[in-house]
Amino acid sequence: MKIDFVERLLCPISGSKMKLISFEIEEIIDGEFVVPIVKEGILISEEQKIWYPVSNYVPVLLVFPTQFHKDFYSKNKNKILSAGNFSMPNLKCEQGENFVQKTFTEEWNLTQESELSFLRTDEDLVNLNRYVWLKWIDRDKVPVKSLLNVGCGVGKETIALSEVTNAKDIVAVDLNFAVMQAGSRYKNVLNIEFIICSLFHIPLEKSCFDLVYSQGVIHHTFSAYCSFEKISEFVSSCGFLFVWVYALEDHLVERNYFGKDFRNSLKYILKNCWWWIECMLRPWLSRVPTFVRTIIIGALSIVLHPLVKSRVINKDKWQISNTRHSLRDVFTPVYASRHGFNEVTSWFEENNFSVYDIQSSCAHKKFFKGKSIYGIGMTGRRKHDFSVDCC
């Protein structure tokens, strides 16, 4: 974390400014300039009398305590006590966030060193965003100077967005602790800052980003609509909001051909069977002890790995860890809601956005070996509000 980034951070509980106490600082050479970055330290809220960890270059701005906080305190007890009478955050997490954090940390840690993010290479992620989801940036020559990436995984998506948008100011947030590794991996990328936080308590000024981007995230919360409302608050006047969510109709599309064509009838039956298996297993697997979840996903991965690998676009790079990651993404999130096209459209309209663009199915087939795109990817543009000043 760059030292001057502290000026932009707000206490996620009170919204007040915070003070940095550094334990370890490094210097990064950027051309003729030396940029100091914080590897370890704490951020303190004088108003709330609370300290927040900074570890591996990443501030952890959660409103609730975790085992990580306890371990960090044990390791740095004397330094923290010398700062004054401050305590770790002690609010309750939002509904289900403890399970969301645990399962997604487990999931993303599986592919920290993988060449793939889900199914895609780094080049694939750039093409996906440039030609399928954010094609309007090049098409309409839209300048994106600042970007908020909500749900950044382990950072690969954020790097792709940096290339596609050329944004000079990018903040990437995620609830899972696997993003901690992005701090050291990308510490020399000075236009990007990573934060571990809840999307319901993003510790930044609102209405400050040209583009807020959230792909495959809000449907994993207790309410996708509430999540949409929260992240939309960070879009500047006339700025853009992109979301991608699971589509309700994706597992049902073959029903139009059921009984007329054997292949599509079979696909319809198999997709519905998979749907019901997921619906039954997921709520249970997300809450069982970690070792039980690991055993079950491990066994499923061994059985299903050949089938899964045969269906992906990057077979030569696909490892069993990628299969485990994919199966965890299907079977372990506590929430995984599906949404309709008109429903997502209404989210934008109800929050003072006009629908600006939708994903390109044809471009996806062109760049990804004829594969159909799933889910709903939609961009909205905030209607100008003269009462709001952009940062």
Which has more pLDDT, 380 or 383?
380
What distance in Å separates the CA atoms of residue 253 and residue 374, rounded to the nearest whole number? Answer: 11
| Ramachandran quadrant class, 351 (left: phi over 0; alpha: psi -120 to 50; beta: rest) | alpha
The number of beta carbons lying within 10 Å of the beta carbon of residue 274 is: 12
| Ramachandran quadrant class, 122 (left: phi over 0; alpha: psi -120 to 50; beta: rest) | alpha
Average pLDDT on 56-81 reads: 97
| Ramachandran quadrant class, 130 (left: phi over 0; alpha: psi -120 to 50; beta: rest) | alpha
What distance in Å separates the CA atoms of residue 155 and residue 174, rounded to the nearest whole number? Answer: 10
- 114 pLDDT more than 90: no
pTM for this model (two decimals): 0.94
Rounded mean pLDDT of the chain? 93
Domain covering 94-250+286-391 assigned CATH 3.20.20.70 in the classification: no
What distance in Å separates the CA atoms of residue 209 and residue 242, rounded to the nearest whole number? Answer: 12
Q: What is the pLDDT of residue 259?
A: 67
- 383 pLDDT more than 80: yes
Q: What is the pLDDT of residue 272?
A: 81
E strand or H helix that includes residue 346? helix 341-350
User: Tokens 């599509």 belong to which residue?
Assistant: 264
What distance in Å separates the CA atoms of residue 17 and residue 45, rounded to the nearest whole number? Answer: 7
- 201 pLDDT more than 60: yes
Q: What is the pLDDT of residue 273?
A: 85
What distance in Å separates the CA atoms of residue 391 and residue 389, rounded to the nearest whole number? Answer: 7
pLDDT class for 283, splitting at 50, 70, 90? confident
Q: Output the CA angle 198-199-205, nearest 5 degrees.
A: 105
Contact residues for 245 (Cβ-Cβ < 8 A; gap 6+): 216, 218, 219, 224, 337, 338, 339, 344, 375, 376
What distance in Å separates the CA atoms of residue 318 and residue 60, rounded to the nearest whole number? Answer: 32
Total residues belonging to the chain: 391
DSSP string, 340-379: -HHHHHHHHHHTTEEEEEE--HHHHHHHTTTPPP-SEEEE
What distance in Å separates the CA atoms of residue 45 and residue 3, rounded to the nearest whole number? Answer: 16
For residue range 29-61, what is the model confidence (pLDDT) as tens digits? Answer: 988 889 999 999 999 999 999 999 999 999 999
The number of beta carbons lying within 10 Å of the beta carbon of residue 9 is: 22
Handedness of CA 298, 299, 304, 309 (dihedral sign): positive
Q: DSSP class of residue 131?
A: I
Which has more pLDDT, 269 or 226?
226
What distance in Å separates the CA atoms of residue 168 and residue 146, rounded to the nearest whole number? Answer: 6
Helices 290-311 and 97-109, axial angle in degrees (round to 10): 50
Domain range list for the chain? 3-92, 94-250+286-391
Average pLDDT on 165-191 reads: 96
pLDDT class for 253, splitting at 50, 70, 90? low
For residue range 129-158, what is the model confidence (pLDDT) as tens digits? Answer: 999 999 999 999 999 999 999 999 999 999
What distance in Å separates the CA atoms of residue 303 and residue 297, rounded to the nearest whole number? Answer: 10
